[in-house]
Amino acid sequence: MAAVLEQARSGAVPVGGAFLFNDVGSVRITTPELFTEEQRLYLKTALQFSTEQVLPQAEKIEAKDNALLRDLLRRAGELGLLMIDIPEAHGGLGLDKTTSLLIAEAMSLQGSWSVSFGAHTGIGTLPIVWFGNEAQKQKYLPKLATGELVAAYALTEQGSGSDALGARTKAVLSPDGKEWILNGSKLYITNAAFADVFVVFAKVDGDKFTGFIVERGSPGFTVGPEEHKMGIRGSSTCPLYFEDARIPRENLLGEVGKGHKIAFNILNYGRLKLGAGVLGGMKLQLRNALLFAQERKQFQTAIASFPLTREKLARMTTLIHAVESMTYRTSGLVDAVMAGADKTAADYSARLIAAIEEYAIESSIMKVYGSEALGYVVDDAVQIHGGAGYIEEYPVERAYRDARINRIFEGTNEINRMLIAGMLLKRTMKGTLPLFEVAQAVDEDLTAERLPKARVQDELAAEEQAAENLKRLAIYTLKVAAETFGAEIEQRQEVLATVADIVMDAYALDSVVTRTRQAAGEGKLDAVRVAMARQFATEANVQSYARARRALCATVKGDALEEHLAKVARLELFTPYDPVELRETILQAVEKASGYPLSAV
């Protein structure tokens, strides 16, 4: 596909969503192969911490041993694992987002720990890093960096989940003007039982959505009983109650009425990070499932040698590879925008927030794709374990339950699918993305039955073209829907969600092909990576064209429908590969590595 964005041609960092309009490989992407020596060492320390300090204590953690969880946070603090996103001036390390994500990956081997760690370092600490004033930063950040203080984040309420701004908790200034008085309640607050510092959202005078810092022990503020959850049972989740709760006036976070800026930007980053936050768990489940399958014998044969087991293990590996390729590509985009920026500048946080917001489409992809990939991986892992997978004694049973929350928090996958398609349209209206211009060109090409060939004629030429055609498919389908429904398109959630699915597969395949080519340098493409790219392309094509047809059926009728269907059928050029051959190539590498074959350390 012709690179439409001049900006991309100039070698600058592509804008958010540009992947959909740029050629495969037109911009070098960040991948684990490009991690620096320091990043590898950080990852090693973090993985060592996870495997030696966290995993062996999984049962105690799951029994809601809050003291242990807190102690682990403190120990993580000693190692600097809580310092990544905190500036050096406030006791942190001020490292890049790729490092932040790879630490999140390493922390994700145990679900409850991962969520507790993420709530503290991410949604708990970052609002103060990004929106706190100097006094607040000095007061809280050094202690949050070491784990001496633990943070939590309170947005959700009984009546407001995805509709975050519908909060009913109210804040008013006391008559003497010295304190804020909060009334209301919050629900499902992670780390609540032992956190010291809570970032709480309330509406000033009942209508101005605003952030506050609330310390444990504030008069009128109480933490309710633990929820009994399906998974991540070891993490603490409680309601918060504010009954004329009094907090000092200076604990206002940011500005009155600007709470949405805090909430949405924190969510953007949380979504980006979620892609990494599922990777560690997926890799562990792959390894455990493989080792189990190699031990477990039926009909005098290890089940790891049965084709249907091998098919599952290969599919898990391919999914992990796709998520990994997208995850670090996306964090790399944010880092590229911020490269060379003065970390001590007053506007650094504002620029960083803007850089993360720029890639909100990619971040929503990470959230949806990552959480659903994890879902498939744990499902396959349970199935490989057979009956044992249904027994609590085996860690895979817990992993299966733990995985489920990922599709719900940080904005449900439904909300995020709407955001992916919705933001593509919004940015097109704003003029930063050329959806209609490119859609017009795609339409002309399809009418004339001419489709550009892959730019690089190597073993992945067909996959490159498949990725370009998936982009065309998404663009074309979205254009038809936008033209048909106009402003009413927002109500057509099925159509938008379907487009989002195709966009996600396109981003994944583009990332996988680009990564595979980059990893080869000037040399030969790696056979295992090629097999994964082909397997991914095969699955993505099967799914995406069926989805596009479904979306078109829900958009137009009669002859017009026939015409659109005929046009998109012209994009479906990809010849699938022999799945048995592909999975054998992948599985041999998995067996050799006793798990995910491309680990960075």
Partner 1 sequence: MKILVTAKRVEDPESKIKVKPDGSGIVQEGLKYKINPFDEIGVEEGLRLVAKHGGEVVVVSIGGKEVQEQLRHALAMGATRAVWVNHTGPLDQMGVAGLLQKVAEKEKPDLVILGKQAIDDDQNQVGQYLAEFLGWGQATFASKVESLESEQEKNKVPALQMGADNKSVRVVREVDNGLATLECALPAVVTTDLRLNLPRYASLPGIMKAKSKPIEELTPAKLSVDVTPKVQVLKMASPPPRKAGIKVPDVATLVDKLRNEAKVV
Note the Cα 386 to chain centre separation in Å.
29
Q: Looking at 14-22, 81-89, 440-448, 542-550, which segment touches partner 1 (CB under 8 A)?
A: 81-89
Q: In whole angstroms, give the CA distance from residue 217 to residue 558.
A: 66
Contacts with partner 1: how many residues (CB under 8 A)? 20
- Residue 473 has which token pair? 């498919």
Q: In whole angstroms, give the CA distance from residue 81 to residue 72.
A: 11
Inter-CA distances, 302 with 384, 385, 588, Å: 12, 12, 15
Q: How far is the CB of 95 from partner 1 (least distance, A)?
A: 8
Residue 37 in the binding site for partner 1 (CB under 8 A): yes
Considering beta carbons, is residue 435 or 531 the nearer one to partner 1? 531
Residue 84 in the binding site for partner 1 (CB under 8 A): yes
Considering beta carbons, is residue 17 or 91 the nearer one to partner 1? 91
410 is catalytic: yes
Which residue of 9, 11, 12, 44 would you call a contact of partner 1, by CB under 8 A? 44
Q: In whole angstroms, give the CA distance from residue 251 to residue 258.
A: 14
Q: In whole angstroms, give the CA distance from residue 253 to residue 262.
A: 9
If DSSP codes are grouped into helix, strand and coil, which group holds residue 600? coil
Residue 300 in the binding site for partner 1 (CB under 8 A): no
- What is the C-alpha radius of gyration for the chain, rounded to an integer number of angstroms? 24
Q: How far is the CB of 586 from partner 1 (least distance, A)?
A: 16
Q: How far is the CB of 534 from partner 1 (least distance, A)?
A: 23
Spatial contact of 223 and 191, defined as CB atoms under 8 Å apart: no
Beta bridge partners of 214: 198
Q: How far is the CB of 302 from partner 1 (least distance, A)?
A: 17
Residue 15 in the binding site for partner 1 (CB under 8 A): no
If DSSP codes are grouped into helix, strand and coil, which group holds residue 119? helix
Q: How far is the CB of 588 from partner 1 (least distance, A)?
A: 12
Which residue of 3, 34, 556, 593 would you call a contact of partner 1, by CB under 8 A? 593
Q: In whole angstroms, give the CA distance from residue 225 to residue 155.
A: 18
How does strand 197-204 pair with strand 170-173? parallel
Residue 89 in the binding site for partner 1 (CB under 8 A): no
Residue 83 in the binding site for partner 1 (CB under 8 A): yes
Considering beta carbons, is residue 109 or 496 the nearer one to partner 1? 109
Residue 93 in the binding site for partner 1 (CB under 8 A): yes
If DSSP codes are grouped into helix, strand and coil, which group holds residue 197? strand
- Residue 366 has which token pair? 């990470």
Spatial contact of 218 and 188, defined as CB atoms under 8 Å apart: no
Residue 42 in the binding site for partner 1 (CB under 8 A): yes
Footprint on residues 304-323 left by partner 1 (CB under 8 A): none
Give the contacts of 404 (CB within 8 A, at least 6 positions apart).
230, 231, 375
Q: Looking at 45-53, 347-355, 462-470, 516-524, which segment touches partner 1 (CB under 8 A)?
A: 45-53
Considering beta carbons, is residue 78 or 483 the nearer one to partner 1? 78
DSSP letter string over 514-581?
Answer: HHHHHHHTTSPPPHHHHHHHHHHHHHHHHHHHHHHHHHHHTT--HHHHHHHHHHHHTT--PPPP-HHH
Residue 48 in the binding site for partner 1 (CB under 8 A): yes
Q: How far is the CB of 129 from partner 1 (least distance, A)?
A: 17
* DSSP label at residue 335: H
Which residue of 41, 63, 230, 345 would you call a contact of partner 1, by CB under 8 A? 41
Q: Looking at 77-85, 181-189, 388-396, 401-409, which segment touches partner 1 (CB under 8 A)?
A: 77-85
Task: Please pick, among 105, 324, 410, 463, the residue that the annotation labels catalytic.
Answer: 410
Q: Looking at 374-382, 534-542, 569-577, 592-600, which segment touches partner 1 (CB under 8 A)?
A: 592-600
Q: Looking at 79-87, 211-219, 274-282, 492-500, which segment touches partner 1 (CB under 8 A)?
A: 79-87
Q: How far is the CB of 107 from partner 1 (least distance, A)?
A: 13
Q: Looking at 57-65, 465-473, 541-549, 590-598, which segment touches partner 1 (CB under 8 A)?
A: 590-598
Residue 229: other Cβ atoms inside 10 A: 16
Spatial contact of 197 and 211, defined as CB atoms under 8 Å apart: no
Spatial contact of 311 and 579, defined as CB atoms under 8 Å apart: yes
Which residue of 9, 12, 38, 444 would you call a contact of partner 1, by CB under 8 A? 38
Q: How far is the CB of 145 from partner 1 (least distance, A)?
A: 10
List, by residue number, the catalytic residues: 410
Would you tell me which residues interact with partner 1 (CB under 8 A)? 37-38, 41-42, 44-45, 48-49, 78-81, 83-84, 93, 95, 592-594, 601
